Amino acid sequence: MTRATPPFPMPTEPSQPRSDRPPQASESPPPTPAQQDRAFTERLRGAGLLGELTDGLLEVLLERVDPGGDEQARRLDLLSLYYEGSGDPEVAARRAAVDRWLLHRDGEAANAHAIVRRLASLAVELGPVGLERIGSVDGPLVVRAGEHLSAVTDGEEDIDADAGDPHAAEPETITVRGLVRALNVLLDRHQVRTRWVALASDGRREAFVTLGVAEAMLLCRSGDLEHASPEEVIEFAAW
């Protein structure tokens, strides 16, 4: 009787050396400052702003912005260049009027009355707008548009509310943001749905544009606004 010969084990292929394995996909490099700035302007264009910013003009403006600067500073530099209209006053005025662009620099020589006049020139629906006190020379500050009043409630120091007023008792300082919010309340009283929102600041400049609710929420979620939460944006815009 013969015994069956056990089958020989099949030779196995040697495992592929690690060096011969296909390389794993590497992580994408972080976006460059120019790529970040292009994405930023694309988000603003998606929200209805920067209507005259063509791709060609954007590339020209990007060449004039310091790529090594702080992100928020770069973005405000880029927007400032756009709204300056390449030095053409007519273009600059048109672009600022369409988006209701307001830029205030820290230390800029402007009192509260001048800021209100600038805002009023961009909100023509309100008619004549003025800053005044109620009751007495040291009464509460309000912004008036016709029969409508809006209190200036922000009491942080920034600009001189009473500069140029010889009847003021003591100078009072308020923030530009407080004045903008007061104008937003007046826009609400006049049933104007677009309101000013604050773009993210670089600590030296404050920039404001007007948006609808949905567009403002988009920019809030992308981190492009100074106010981080939707609730803060809605409160500031008086929606």
Q: Which residue has the tokens 């942080």?
A: 156
Cβ–Cβ under 8 Å, residues 190 and 125: yes
Residue 239 lies in a domain: no
177 in the same domain as 74 = no
Residue 12 lies in a domain: no
- For residue 7, being part of any structural domain is answered with no
Nearest partner of 103 among 127, 131, 122, 89, judged by Cα: 122
Q: Is residue 212 part of a domain?
A: yes
**pLDDT of 2 strictly over 50:** no
Contact in structure between 98 and 51 (CB atoms under 8 Å):
yes
CA distance 81 to 93: 13
Position 25 in a domain: no
Pair 68, 178 in one domain: no
Question: CB within 8 A of 39, min separation 6: which ones?
Answer: 31
Q: What is the pLDDT of residues 61-78, one digit of tens each?
A: 999 999 888 999 999 999
Residue 153 in domain: yes
Specify whether 55 is located in the same domain as 43.
yes
pTM of the model: 0.82
Domain, as residue range, for 143: 107-193
Of 209, 212, 152, 139, residue with least CA distance to 183: 152
Do 166 and 210 belong together in one domain? no
User: Which pLDDT tens digit goes with each residue over 103-159?
Assistant: 999 888 778 999 999 999 999 999 999 999 988 777 889 999 999 999 998 644 455
Share of the chain above pLDDT 90, in %: 71
State the total domains in the chain: 2
